[in-house]
Amino acid sequence: MKILHTADWHLGQKLLQNDRQEEFQLVLDWLLQTIEEQKVDVLLVSGDIFDIGNPPNQARQLYYNFLGKLMNAPCNHVIITGGNHDSPAMLNAPKALLQAFNIHVVGAYSGTIEDELIPLKNEAGEVEVIVAAVPFLRDRDLRVSMAGESQVDRNARLQKGLTAHYKTLAELAQPYKKQGIVAIAMGHLFAKDAVSTEKQDNIYLGNRENMEARQFPVEFDYVALGHIHRAQKVGKANHIRYSGSMIPLSFSERGDAKSVYILEVKNGAIDGIESIRVPVFRRLKSIEGNLDKVQRSLERFAAKKEGKLTPWVEVKVITEIYIPQLDKLLRDFTEKMDLELVKIRLIRPYQSLSEHRIELPDLEDMAVDDVFKKRCESQGAISDDQLEMLMDTFKELKEWMSIKQ
């Protein structure tokens, strides 16, 4: 049995307000082709199918068209779990219908942990793999807040809840393990020692690293994770991996090698794990320097012909003086080049009284939580405890809104 692990599709995502429908279509077509060529039996998608809880119709169409095309592929089972960007209600809406086609959707914790244990049968009708399909577990799924508890206590309670959830599933999988059946766990969280190319969402209130590799039960032969966009092993654990996203979701990910993992199950064990490189369909490039350096870099970049789609470039021009009509100047300069300038920014370092240069942040480059934090700090004197409480309340509000979508 062959199993393909992927995650973090983020269908519907826009890059600086630029539509990415073509890229998503191309990468899903490639994924379907890979499933057919590799004769993949099982597809695991570990969360963040969509970029927002209420995705646009084009994103939904991509999703359902892909699942429809899988009917003619050799893939016998599909397991899709919800991520922190997904709306559980939206993912679960067609759950009963999709299950009739062996497409299992676990949008959120149902309250019954047994619902997350999914046995997968081979062509002979025998259970060959048991999957603990764990979606993104929200705070309310893991712990009940207690009045007066510190941030450290809250983090410990949350980590304890996550560990207990996987431990319970490992215990439920024991009867299968005793029969020599491979056990796989899925998850959408931030594991300790994972490396991301940019700051990722603080997935739980007041906590960044949610679990350590050693906290996943040894009963699981492989742990298929989502949330971190860079493909990698977690620490030194070869069997605990993030597949990463299939396309770069920001300019900071432009250098990442995007991939999916294919596991081969033989004789009750994982016989091998292969990384399959995802082609680059659209190049992303970030160029920074003075105007002359930027123009020379643009010429060199445009001379390289790679990818099916027009490359997107962000430019940061560093200058001590004001450059009139910089936007028009650069767009005229690149008019006949095979690239599109999606962002042009003029950086004039602020000279402080202490002679230190300070680059003012660009709102587009900041995470939502950081914007809220700076807004709170701008209101005057505020203690660390007060700021912590406000940040937690803000994150609770975001989570509540995502559930309602």
pLDDT computed for residue 367 by the predictor: 63
Q: Domain tally for the chain?
A: 3
CATH of the domain at 147: 3.60.21.10
User: What residues have CB less than 8 Å from 207, skipping those under 6 apart?
Assistant: 154, 155, 158, 159
Per-residue pLDDT tens, the chain, 405 aa: give them: 999 999 999 999 999 889 999 999 999 999 999 999 999 999 999 999 999 999 999 999 999 999 999 998 999 999 999 999 999 999 999 999 999 999 999 999 999 999 999 999 988 889 999 999 999 998 888 765 565 666 667 777 788 889 999 999 999 999 999 999 999 999 999 998 888 766 555 565 445 568 888 999 999 999 999 999 999 999 889 999 999 999 999 999 998 999 999 999 998 899 999 999 999 999 999 999 999 999 999 999 999 888 899 999 999 999 888 888 999 999 999 999 999 999 999 887 665 545 454 455 565 556 677 778 777 777 666 676 677 667 767 766 766 665 555
Q: Are residues 49 and 138 in the same domain?
A: yes
Q: Are residues 18 and 130 in the same domain?
A: yes
Asked whether the beta carbons of 180 and 270 are under 8 A apart, the reply is no
pLDDT computed for residue 276 by the predictor: 97
- Look at residues 277, 293, 318 and tell me which one is the last residue of a structural domain: 277
Asked whether the beta carbons of 270 and 264 are under 8 A apart, the reply is yes
Element (H, E) at 317: strand 312-318
Residue owning tokens 């960007």: 85
Residue owning tokens 């510190």: 150
User: What residues have CB less than 8 Å from 168, skipping those under 6 apart?
Assistant: 113
CA distance 209 to 232: 16
Q: Are residues 102 and 195 in the same domain?
A: yes
pLDDT computed for residue 362 by the predictor: 60
Q: Are residues 228 and 129 in the same domain?
A: yes
Q: Are residues 351 and 379 in the same domain?
A: no
pLDDT computed for residue 53 by the predictor: 93
pLDDT computed for residue 350 by the predictor: 61
Residue 98 is given by DSSP the state H
Q: Are residues 166 and 269 in the same domain?
A: yes
Which candidate, 171, 80, 90, places its Cα nearest to that of 134?
80
Q: Are residues 377 and 361 in the same domain?
A: no
pLDDT computed for residue 195 by the predictor: 80
Q: Taking the mean position of all CA atoms in its chain, how far away is CA 250?
A: 12
Q: Are residues 13 and 105 in the same domain?
A: yes
CATH of the domain at 335: 3.30.160.720
Q: Are residues 332 and 384 in the same domain?
A: no
Q: Are residues 221 and 100 in the same domain?
A: yes
Q: Are residues 222 and 301 in the same domain?
A: no
Asked whether the beta carbons of 238 and 273 are under 8 A apart, the reply is yes
Q: Are residues 158 and 123 in the same domain?
A: yes
pLDDT computed for residue 327 by the predictor: 93
- Look at residues 277, 294, 309 and tell me which one is the last residue of a structural domain: 277
Model's pTM, two decimal places? 0.85
CA distances from 19 to 11, 15, 30, 191, 306 (A): 11, 7, 19, 31, 20
Here the contacts of 230-236 (C-beta below 8 Å, separation 24 or greater) are 230/195, 230/196, 230/197, 230/256, 231/256, 231/257, 231/258, 231/259, 231/261, 231/275, 232/194, 232/195, 234/191, 234/192, 234/193, 234/194, 235/191, 235/192, 235/193
CA distance 282 to 339: 10
As given in the structure block, the two tokens for residue 272 are: 């091998």
Domain that holds residue 400: 370-405
